[in-house]
Amino acid sequence: PSRSLREKNPVLWAAATVELSQVLTLLNSLYLLGLQKPGRLNSNETLVVHIIESGPREYVAGQQWEEVLHILPHLQNIYVQFITNMDSAYNSPLAPFETCPNCARGNRTRHYGIFKGKYHEYRKTSKDYRKPDIVLAFEVGIHETKESWIQDLELIKSMKVPFCLSWYSVYDYQMDGFCLLMSGLKYLVNPTLNPFRSLHDMIDMNPDMESDKCCELFYSIQKYFAIMQG
């Protein structure tokens, strides 16, 4: 019998999970919430995803977001809006991108857009705004800049849509969780080890072994996740 990629080349397998962990975390969240079923989204054939405080890792994974269409055959379109505050970012309106031959034959589309600014600014000013089916935030460290998140969290709470977050470590989700609960958001899925986390483990070169932090010498992308809602 043929061996899987994981058996043939474990290093390549681990590398492949870095970007794919984002897409699989989204899909897992949809399944946990029952949103993968026809008729459960704002539009029967379209999935709208907002990724706030996004960065290069999310952009690089652009091609992988099409996998959502492959796994959920009733979907015709996916709209992924990146909202970022990075100095190097630029505004790019929602636009269609090329799809695989099978999706092209079925008139299935993927659209990406970039908004430079905070989430509440995007909601107020962008002509591209579409009500999201789910909002994502990957390793954003809310507790590190909590004052800058007040308006964004208030908006997310008022929208009554699922808010999926991921973290590198237990310490990160404990600290962010305190800020999130104080904002009035509630857990739909409690923080837990992500079954679709990246398998590419990295070493924390500067672990603070003497602090009160729950120190983890090894960390990985999307290691822990939770889902919240207002």
Tell me the sheet residues that pair with 92: 114
Q: What is the CB neighbour count within 10 angstroms for residue 96?
A: 11
Residues in the chain: 230
The pLDDT, as a whole number, for residue 1 is: 44
Q: 60 falls in which pLDDT band (50, 70, 90)?
A: low
Answer yes or no: are the C-beta atoms of 19 and 57 closer than 8 Å: yes
Answer yes or no: are the C-beta atoms of 47 and 78 closer than 8 Å: yes
Distance CA 87, CA 148 (A): 16
> Looking at residues 126-140, what average pLDDT do you find?
95
CA dihedral for 61, 3, 200, 198, sign (positive or negative): positive
Residue type, 32: L
Rounded mean pLDDT of the chain? 86
pLDDT above 70 coverage of the chain, percent: 80
Least confident of 39-43, 65-69, 124-128: 39-43
Which residues lie below 8 Å from residue 180, measured CB to CB, with a gap of 6+? 142, 153, 165, 228
Answer yes or no: are the C-beta atoms of 216 and 169 closer than 8 Å: yes
Predicted model pTM: 0.87
Tokens 């909002």 belong to which residue?
A: 135
Answer yes or no: are the C-beta atoms of 221 and 139 closer than 8 Å: yes
User: Could you tell me which of 109, 116, 123, 56 has the C-alpha nearest to residue 80?
Assistant: 109
Residues 164-177 pLDDT 10s: 999 988 888 999 99
Least confident of 28-37, 55-64, 69-78, 113-122: 55-64
> Looking at residues 12-40, what average pLDDT do you find?
83
Q: Is 110 helix (H, G, I), strand (E, B) or coil?
A: strand
Answer yes or no: are the C-beta atoms of 189 and 32 closer than 8 Å: yes
Residues 183-200 pLDDT 10s: 999 999 999 999 988 776
* Residue 68 scores a pLDDT above 90: yes
